[in-house]
Structure 1
Amino acid sequence: MHQLRFVREGYCLMSDFLSNFTNDNYGNKQPRKKERHSDKSPLEETSTEERTNDSVELNGKENEQKSQLNNPTEKKDQHKTSASSQPIFDEDTQTITDPTYRKKQIRKKLLIAVSAIIVLMGCLFAYYQFSTVKVPDFVGKNVSEVREWGVDSGVKISPEQVYDFDEKINAVVKQNQTAGKRMKKKDKLIVQTSLGPDPKELIALPTFEEMTITQAQEWIESNKAENVTISEEYNDKVAAKKLIKQEFSQKDFDKKKYKREDQMILTYSKGKEVFEKNIAMPDFKKKDKGKLDEWVKANEIKATVKWVDSDEEKGKVLTQSVEPTVKVAKRECLSFTISKGKPIIVPDFSLYNKNTVEEITGLTVQVNEKFSDSVSFGGLLSQSVEAGKKYYEGEPLPTITVEYSVGQPYLRSYIGELEGDLAERFFNDYQSKGANITYTTYRTPSSEPKGTVVKMSLYNEFVSTDYHVSIGISDGSKASEVPKYQEDELDKELPETKDSLEDIAN
């Protein structure tokens, strides 16, 4: 029973609550229970009072609506009374009306609706925040920063490379998403990265000969010609900061076709280098040249070395242009004399003859004799190594060939000798000594044995080194007769005997 009563009472309360929002003439009245004492139990008393109040309230509402229809003035007065926001106690109906109740209910519903909207907006905002990301301004930054941001934010980065004169290599030139705004994570962020200036671009070269090194550096920076290298070196002839030479990687390069990718080297002068004299000069006299070379290399000294003949051992320092302990500067020019040792000198063999050549020591000399039309007997004709030539220790010594003159050739008489011996005789007597003495033979009747020389066109006289002689050879046809050459001798020596023989023959 109690459960049924509680259900019924709950239904009545819910109906009353809903009627407050459906009744257009609801006067914001809230029934108030009249305090009274009762002998009933608290639960029964509460239920009875609530039912009584509900009935009184419903009757009161009906009466109120009727009175408002019959008496408009009363309605206005009632509104005035409600406007005063003061609780009204009706003794007849025993109810208390709260004029702020409706406002409180509206405020409550508005608060619930606003809270729901705020929660919904919060969810939408959270989803928006989770599915999007704020795009930074990457222009001018390195593409590596963009990639790192893409990994951290879950955004795919799509780089595109373009030539750009103003931005550095790998710097971002442009991005497809506006900086500061949010983008969906599923979208791509496309960034254009710089490849630097276009290497194929033609650049007009200035006249570097008229520019200082500072002006050349400014030109390189303004044109971003990164393949141009500037080097400096000391030069005694070209003023400091002036161009010494301009070189290209290719020979015969056309300057009018210079592009940013071409290699070029500009060498500028640093002027004459001046060093402080802070190096103490050692004493190198009679020391090996090797120690001098080490000191010269370590101190970058410009050394001029002169080799001279000396009785000192080869390679010993003889003199130095600066005395010991004197201070010298780096790259200063110094001179030194070094011993070449005692040389072996080739003599003038014209001062010798074939018999006195043996007096020369230290050299190997081969003496030859040769005919000459112009040099008298015993005179020097030639020597294979010129006079005064020096040979030093450790150098190979050659064999020197010396030729002395034996004068003009003397053509001997070969009458009475055999024809077969003539070739050997002419070679040994003339040709081996440089004389071109040749001969021809012919046959002639003679009482001499066949093959014997019986005639010569010239013999027993001096001839030139280039001479030809004709020689008659016996054919042996007159072997029983007196040889012709004998007859000639008889004619000269015994003319009277010859006449006597002719008479006898007659």
Structure 2
Amino acid sequence: MNEKKDFLSSLADELDTKNEGAAKDDFEIYHASSKSAAELRNFKDQDYDFAENSVQPKTVPKPTSMGGASATPKATATPTPKQAPKPTPQSAGSLRDGKKSPHSFQQEELKKIDKKPFKLDPKILIAGIIGLIAIIGLVWFFFFAPKIPMPDFVGKTINDVGAWAKQNNIETAGIIINKEYSLEYDKDVIISQDQKAGSKIKNDTALTFVASKGADPDEVIAFPDLMNMTYSEIKDWIDTNKLQKTKINTQYNTLVEKDLVINYDLKTGTESNFTRGSTLTINISKGPAPAGTVAIENFVGKTYAELEQWANSKKILLEKTEAYSDTVETGKIISQNIKVGESLEEGGKLGVVVSKGKAVKIPNLVGYTKEMLDVWAATPENKVTIVKKERYNSAPEGTVIGQSLAAGTQVDQGTVLELTISLYMPQLETNSRAWYGKDYLELIKWVDDANGKGANLAAGAWAGEEKSDTYPTPGQIISYSCLDAKGNQLPYGANGCARPLPIDAKISMKISSGPATQPTPTPAPVLKEFKVDKNLGYATFKALCGANGITVNPIGTIADNSTTFVILQSDGVTTINNGQTLSEGMSIIVQEPTPAP
């Protein structure tokens, strides 16, 4: 039995060594794994056959477990450096419970592991430091070091700076350009820069430049005696002082010697307060014009009539072009194609542009209300002749719906501008019985008038005809209704005509074909009449005619008791004798018989 115990104790220690490993602080704590130790504990009641280097159990029962844990409680230990763990009460039956039972294993052993100190080779340390410095240098060079060479921009322009910045991806937000007046440098030329030429910069380096604003236009310049100066002297004076608005015109002149001043025009400022920005024009003589040539004068601002008079006297032909001008009056010269002082051979052509005055610029008037249009038309620069044409349209009444001149067109003042104005929709009714009893042709005429203004209506007696005592005259409108373009009655009022009609509406009418009942015939009137009896005498005959409505036209004097008077019909030829009947309304002639010759 002693051999068996010693072998199992060794086996437990070997298992502990494989499962747990070395302990902290240079100590190794050996213990058996919980599973192996539990199995070994079950061996104590079994018999073993021992052979060389082996152990064969006769019967090895399987350990029972719950949730993957061993049936035998695990041994727990809290190892500390240089001290073996103490057994706990729950570790009874474990391999190291400290009891000297005949079947227990040997106690744990603590072993110290000695470690050799690590030594770093100085050569390797130095090489590593050098390599690290090289890597840092490369990173700084490729990612952080300035690499863009700074050019010398002094004497170059602002545009040159912009082109360079764009080419090198320089951030323009960091470029500051200050400006100052300079007599030495022209406008927009670089005077100085803060970064030295040849230095290296990054693309986000802040750069400051000073650029020239040119010579100070407000600087007072001494005004010379121009009338006693030559052309070259004046030009040197202009160049030296960089006079910005001083110009020289040369022209032929027979009175002033060549290269001497004819006159000058100082338009702004005075001679005593002359500045670099003052406007000055100097006319210098080119001497007499060559034979057969004409010296061109300045016609700008003069009337075309003046130019024509001059051209006729100099045998010069004119080419006239008209253009609008906001500053030059109508009929005056805006420009000429040959400069003042240059010569032109006789018979040559001088081209001039003549002002047509201010142009009227036509806006888009479509959508303007009546009030807006009135305001636009009342503005002095909009002097056009407006002709209005009214059309039915869905736009509100008085709104402009069309114009004859396109928006943006420039026209002469007084040009006719035709505007189409909305009448809104056609209104058939002004009261609910507006058309009842009227002749249907009146409504047809109303439709024709509305169609002439774009209503596109249709009307007809589509509801048919019928007899009517209310409207007995044939053609009278008995009823009517308003329909849409598809023939559906409009929903406005009883007949659909109470509201403005839509474009393409239809008007259906029913008209009278006459009275429904026949009228009672009126008896013919009874005429008064009597038979002629001249024996009663003229006075009695005349009284009977008056009582019966017969007109008597006597010729000459007839005695009241005459029985011989002659009665003639109104034609003065046909005789009416005794016994004939005279009726009411007749006209007769009465006279004495003509004596026989």
TM range (shorter): 0.3 to 0.5
Report the TM-score, using the length of structure 2 for normalisation: 0.28
Query: Whose helix proportion is higher, 1 or 2?
Result: 1
Q: TM-score, normalised by structure 1?
A: 0.33
